[in-house]
Structure 1
Amino acid sequence: MKLQSVPGNTMKMPKTVDVSRVSATVDVLAEQIARFAQSDGDYATPVPGFTLHRRSVATEPIPCIYGFGLGVVAQGDKRITLGEEVFDYGPGQSLLTTIDLPVMSNVTAATRAKPFLGAMLTIDSRTIVQLAAEMDLTQPPKDCSYKALSIGELEPLVLDALIRLVRLLDEPDLIPHVAPLILREIAVRLLAGPYGPIFRHLVAAGSPSQHIARSVTWLKQNFSHAMRVDELAANAHMSPSTFRHHFRAITGMSPLQYQKQLRLQEARQLMLNQNLDAGSAGVRVGYESASQFSREYARLFGAPPLRDIQRMRLTH
């Protein structure tokens, strides 16, 4: 079947599995992804929230937002930059993001003979909450927090489920019936595996992670509005200093930096997709000063707005 191409996330976990077995399983996953992603691009599949990715050359860092999901590398290497932190991951590893994060993403190792091959799976938070309540799992301490982005080794049984999910693309009539079962299995195995404490902490009532996740949701929906950290802290039932500490610990950046990245990425999309000029785009996302908008835009994207958009149009 032909998939539809669509335009275009460290806590290092210890290895507790048979490395040779994982390597062989990862090779199978790479072969299966390559069957469907036969040329460079990002491919939406009929499985909701499941995409396949292929690149034959290393790429420049691209700003994007990673939501609640799991990124998997089957071949090649990838780098994610979150604030000042850099996360590298390769074959057999996965990247988990538990809240929306503005990051820089790029492929660091890929050739035509051995292209980068990967997959992204959006995770349904409602499923995690439901499964966490059903499973007899130890609850993490409320006073601990976990980063919203972490890298770990994929367990063989999770890899096996991902392979079955890709192979299911050969049977489109069965996808509506079988895909939900495989997705539920993956969620169960993630909850019961090394990523489990992160998931459980995220859904634990009253945990700092849950409060920060709600603040992040508000910022994502209201990034163009003026932000008062004191009000966000009060809504999260924290003092301003405690709120800033937990926000940075979980997201890798301050609330102001988070808002700024959301604004600049949205402005870029407005100029690229709606042909807005820099001044109008800056005002639309909440900037009052055109010079400040241009300066911060160039700092994030490496060029002033007009030059960056011209470059983007030439490369797409």
Structure 2
Amino acid sequence: MPTQNQLGQQEMKSLEVVREAMIANIGRWTVGKTDCATSIPSLAFFRREAPAPPAMCLVEPSIVLVVQGEKQMLVGGEAYPYNIYRFLITSLDLPANSQVGMASPDKPCLGLVLKLDFHVIAEMIAHGGLPFPIERSNDRGIGIGTVTLDLLQPFRRLLDLLDEPNAIPVLAPLIEREIHYRLLMSDQAARLWQIASIGSQSHRVAKAIDWLKMNYTATLRIDDLAAYAQMSTSSLHSHFRQLTTMSPLQYQKWLRLNEAKRLMLNEDKDAASAAFQVGYESPSQFSREYTRLFGAPPKRDIARLRSLENHR
């Protein structure tokens, strides 16, 4: 009968075999690209060939797996490093900074992002007879979990489907469902239970975030947002900050400023036009808040970004 140590060595070897297959698969799909959508709508790949400083992003509820290299996510001044042994999971739409730690042209940082479906998770919790998580989740919408063979194997099968496009509509939802089940059996289960449980404070904060994403140009009245989320104003403030490290107003500002940046960079809007389009009434206030977030006034920041693009 194999010893515990032998079983551990066998699993490590099996993990390495699966990971090598995923490296080859993601590697060939991402040649010449940095971020890559796939024919499976919820799945995307990334490739980085050099370390990179923190870059702002809005992380959707998802699991992020690195199969080669190292990355970390910075949220509210706290670092969440992940690599081939640890995955990143987010249960809310979180403003963050993504940083690449280990990558080179010969050995690029490779990985995937799979969006989570909380309808599937809620259904499994309600009807699946799953064990209630023993460990409590911390009050953040982000966490780091342990990569296991049980979790990695369905991901490998999902990637293999990309070479069988006719099977994707039938088989991808089944494999994605298995991945959600594996996550509910992982060391990050408590975080998923917390957000998927109807009526929980986390679920209500998620509802408030959905409203802010849809209505970020509107004037924010905290009392109205709290009523929409079925929370008291003080409870909304407290739980919103615990989960996102921001207040609702700061979250709205972040959404507005990043959309304005996109409008200036990609649609050639001037600063005043972009400011008005995202809901600002004062271009000077917009410029002050933009500078505070991005470290430079709008015109100078966009010129710098375009210069970087031209040198790539």
Q: Taking structure 1 as the reference length, what is the TM-score of the superposition?
A: 0.87
CA displacement at 1:115 relative to structure 2: 0.8
Corresponding residue number in structure 1 for 2:161: 168
**For residues 83 and 279 of structure 1, what CA distance do their matches in structure 2 show?**
29
Corresponding residue number in structure 1 for 2:107: 114
CA displacement at 1:231 relative to structure 2: 2.7
Corresponding residue number in structure 1 for 2:147: 154
**For residues 301 and 177 of structure 2, what CA distance do their matches in structure 1 show?**
42
* 1:234-291 CA distance string (max 9 Å, x none): 3334332222111111112111211111111110111122211101111221222322
Instruction: Summarize the Cα distance change of 1:257–1:245 in structure 2 as closer, same or farther, 3 Å threshold.
Output: same
CA radius of gyration, larger in: 2
The equivalent position to 2:12 in structure 1, one of 20, 39, 44, is 20
Corresponding residue number in structure 2 for 1:39: 32
The equivalent position to 1:239 in structure 2, one of 232, 235, 249, is 232
SS at 2:140's partner residue?
A: coil
CA displacement at 1:294 relative to structure 2: 1.4
Q: Does 1:81 align with 2:74?
A: yes
The equivalent position to 1:102 in structure 2, one of 91, 95, 108, is 95
Corresponding residue number in structure 1 for 2:4: none
Corresponding residue number in structure 2 for 1:11: none
Instruction: Summarize the Cα distance change of 1:139–1:209 in structure 2 as closer, same or farther, 3 Å threshold.
Output: farther
Could you tell me which runs of 5 or more consecutive residues in structure 2 were left unpaired when the two chains were aligned.
1-7
Corresponding residue number in structure 1 for 2:185: 192
Report the residue type matching 2:12 in the other structure.
S
CA displacement at 1:295 relative to structure 2: 2.1
Corresponding residue number in structure 1 for 2:203: 210
* 1:166-185 CA distance string (max 9 Å, x none): 12222222222222221111
Report the residue type matching 1:180 in the other structure.
P
Corresponding residue number in structure 2 for 1:288: 281
* 1:61-81 CA distance string (max 9 Å, x none): 222211121111111111222
Report the residue type matching 1:313 in the other structure.
R
* 1:156-201 CA distance string (max 9 Å, x none): 1111111111122222222222222211111111122222222222
The equivalent position to 1:128 in structure 2, one of 114, 121, 127, is 121
Could you tell me which runs of 5 or more consecutive residues in structure 1 were left unpaired when the two chains were aligned.
1-16
Q: Please tell me whether the aligned partners of residues 77 and 89 of structure 1 are also in contact (alpha carbons under 8 angstroms).
A: yes
Which structure: greater helix fraction? 2
- Map residues 63-74 of structure 1 onto 2, 5 A cutoff: 63-74=56-67
Q: Does 1:48 align with 2:41?
A: yes
Report the residue type matching 2:168 in the other structure.
I
SS at 2:53's partner residue?
A: coil
CA displacement at 1:108 relative to structure 2: 2.1
Report the residue type matching 1:196 in the other structure.
A
CA displacement at 1:140 relative to structure 2: 6.9
Greater displacement, 166-175 / 43-52: 166-175
* 1:19-49 CA distance string (max 9 Å, x none): 8344554344223311322234211111111
Corresponding residue number in structure 2 for 1:260: 253
Instruction: Summarize the Cα distance change of 1:171–1:236 in structure 2 as closer, same or farther, 3 Å threshold.
Output: closer
Q: Please tell me whether the aligned partners of residues 190 and 196 of structure 1 are also in contact (alpha carbons under 8 angstroms).
A: yes
Greater displacement, 63-72 / 143-152: 143-152
Report the residue type matching 1:215 in the other structure.
A
Same amino acid, percent of matched pairs = 41
Kindly tell me the number of residue pairs found equivalent between the two proteins: 299
Q: RCO greater where, 1 or 2, for CA within 8 Å and sep 6 or more?
A: 1
Q: Please tell me whether the aligned partners of residues 59 and 107 of structure 1 are also in contact (alpha carbons under 8 angstroms).
A: yes
Report the residue type matching 1:104 in the other structure.
N
* 1:210-244 CA distance string (max 9 Å, x none): 11011111111111122122332333343322221
Report the residue type matching 2:119 in the other structure.
R
**For residues 228 and 243 of structure 2, what CA distance do their matches in structure 1 show?**
17
Greater displacement, 252-261 / 194-203: 194-203
